[in-house]
């Protein structure tokens, strides 16, 4: 059965936090559930900042995708980040990631974003393959980050 995808709503925050917890656990990162819930609530309350999609199969959440948007001086317009994309291991390689990215890319086109970015581990071949099918390429950029 094909997955269903839809825009997430505030009622979906508990399911989204559960998916995010699993996503973080795969990389051995701790997740503060209250912080994650507040982050989803903030994004869902401000549609100009992005959107969230939830994928389900047989009524159960199996994945999510998060698009965040900003203005980029580099591109002279808005660009976006695939901030999160997670599919439960039992639902991988079954079209869930493709379905979520189709929704995300349709939204990016609607918003007239000039570029999309994603961070992915170099050793995650499956993710690289999925993103390559949507035209994302490794640009070998150095990126420095500080959290404030």
**Per-residue pLDDT reduced to its tens digit, 87-97:** 999 999 999 99
Q: Model's pTM, two decimal places?
A: 0.91
**What is the homologous superfamily of the domain 4-133 according to CATH?**
Gcn5-related N-acetyltransferase (GNAT) (3.40.630.30)
Residue stretches of the chain with pLDDT short of 70:
1, 140-148
Answer whether 79's CB lies under 8 Å from 117's CB: yes
Strand 77-87 to 50-57 pairing? unpaired
pLDDT at 144: 55
Structural domain spans, the chain: 4-133
**Per-residue pLDDT reduced to its tens digit, 49-77:** 999 999 999 999 999 999 999 999 989 99
In the block, tokens 């695939």 appear at 82
pLDDT at 1: 67
Answer whether 104's CB lies under 8 Å from 87's CB: no
């Amino acid at each position: 059965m094909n997955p269903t995808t839809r825009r997430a709503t505030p009622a979906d925050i508990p399911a989204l936090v559960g998916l995010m917890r699993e996503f973080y656990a795969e990389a051995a990162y701790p997740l503060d559930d209250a912080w994650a819930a507040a982050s989803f609530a903030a994004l869902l309350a401000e549609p100009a900042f992005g959107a969230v999609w939830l994928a389900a199969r047989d009524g159960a959440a199996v994945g999510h995708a998060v698009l965040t948007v900003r203005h980029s001086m580099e591109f002279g317009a808005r660009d976006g980040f695939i901030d999160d994309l997670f599919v439960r291991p039992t639902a991988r390689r079954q079209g869930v990631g493709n379905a979520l990215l189709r929704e995300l890319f349709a939204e990016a086109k609607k918003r007239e974003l000039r570029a999309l970015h994603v961070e992915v581990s170099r050793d995650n071949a499956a993710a690289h393959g999925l993103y390559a099918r949507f035209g994302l390429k490794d640009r070998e950029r150095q990126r420095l980050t500080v959290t404030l």
